[in-house]
Amino acid sequence: MARKYALLVVDMQERLRGMMEAMGIIPRVVKLVKHCHEMGVPVVFIQHHDVSGLGSNDPIVKGTEDWELLPEMQEVLDPEKDIRVQDKTKRDAFFKTKLEEELRSRGVNAVVVVGAMTNLCCETTARSAFCRDFDVVFLEDGNATMDAKYHEATLLNLGVGFAKIMTAAECENIFQ
């Protein structure tokens, strides 16, 4: 069966800007979103917010500046075509959201995961996609977290049996 991809842009929100800038992922993700638009690949912008404060000493509150997508993401977001998942309250973008339904309705059977944080929401979403029978690509230079050792551990673990690990440049070629 041929793969039909979607790009999952996970939690590229103001609160997490510092780590994304430090790891240099923002320009790569912007370029990849533009490439996906050109190739007709669905793009999903996912935003996290905390409803209980549990699991976070510093929750992201929906509607605040911290919750907003980065301006760089807002500039490339196509409201006519792109999918918005703004109700993610756990590390898993599939948990109690309409993400799987949105992807299946478009015939998507493979996802590319980019965003923040590598070892939390991005990794959990990648594993969840795998368990839902999506093929998963995880970008080593398209995900960011607060510590390189967490980033490397995620790449090693996902690469063993959950996802194909690629660079953003390599990924552009899979949408042909």
Buried-state track 115-138, b at ≥16 Cβ within 10 A, e below 16:
bbbbbbbbbbbbbbbbeeebbbbb
pLDDT band at 65 (very low <50, low <70, confident <90, very high): very high
Nearest Cα to Cα of residue 70 among 107, 45, 52: 45
Q: What CATH number is given for 5-51+61-172 in this structure? A: 3.40.50.850
Asked if 61 and 49 touch (Cβ cutoff 8 Å), the reply is: yes
Residue boundaries of the structural domains of the chain: 5-51+61-172
**pLDDT at residue 54 is higher than 80:** no
**Which stretches of the chain are DSSP H helices?**
17-22, 25-39, 71-76, 99-105, 123-131, 148-161, 168-172
Q: How high is the pLDDT of residue 53?
A: 57
> pLDDT tens, 89-119?
999 999 999 999 999 999 999 999 999 999 9
Report how far residue 20's alpha carbon sits from residue 27's, in angstroms, rounded to the nearest whole number: 10
Name the band, by pLDDT with cuts 50, 70 and 90, for residue 57: low
> What whole-number distance in Å separates Cα of residue 160 and Cα of residue 155?
9
